[in-house]
Chain A
């Protein structure tokens, strides 16, 4: 299906780890690269991961990405209060002939 499904929310204590899943299909994640973005209130979206598992310069290695089959995962270790934000995956969809963003996940630091 041409939708990228993420859990609505995840949470953990400071210093812990969270993982955010992004489930798609063969028309998107299964055959294309995945990217991940962070949205902090009042600021422009920020690229965290590109090409499934690559970090742009300036993004700490606490952030990691992986892909297996038609799903992708964003991991955040050493959770900080500043990581509270909304996170989105993204990929091209061959069936749509256009781009897709995931449904979004809100990360809460307990």
Chain B
């Protein structure tokens, strides 16, 4: 079955960097676009970034543009989120999610999430 497992979360000081990883299994990873979505404590869902199936043009939320980079390795079935210049506003659970094949905007599988805490 489809499985997405995030790793790399933790506590980091403001201004520092962190890289999240998402290991995918149970499907042909290279056929699907992938996203990162986050949820800050007590807040709603916020879409963060999208990378197409082939690693082409990426898209970012304005709140992370220029600081975060989404990437993928289709040989290793891995999705990444490089987060630089972190601020306390970036504290959240970060989910990797699979773009539903053939749909314009739907995420049909999600990981359990990785907690990122930005604190001094």
Contacts and interface: CB of A to CB of B under 8 A. Distances in A.
A37 B97 CA distance: 12
Contacts of A91: 105
A50 B106 contact: yes
Contacts of A47: 100, 106-108
Interface in A76-107: 86, 88, 90-92, 96-104
A86 B111 CA distance: 17
Nearest to B105: A92
B30 to A, nearest CB: 21
B100 A45 contact: no
B46 A101 contact: yes
Interface residues of B, number: 25
Q: Is the interface of B mostly helix, strand, loop or mixed?
A: strand
A33 B45 CA distance: 18
A98 B106 contact: no
Contacts of B111: 44
Given A45-B110, A50-B106, A98 B44 contact: no
B62 A50 contact: no
Nearest to A49: B106
Q: Which of A32, A33, A47, A99 is packed against the most chain B CB atoms within 10 Å?
A: A99
Contacts of A98: 47, 50, 59-62
Contacts of A99: 35, 47, 50, 59, 61, 105
B95 interface: yes
A50 B44 CA distance: 19
B95 A44 contact: yes
7 contacts: A45-B45, A98-B60, A99-B50, A99-B105, A100-B47, A101-B45, A101-B46
Interface of A: 32-35, 37, 39, 43-47, 50-51, 56, 86, 88, 90-92, 96-104
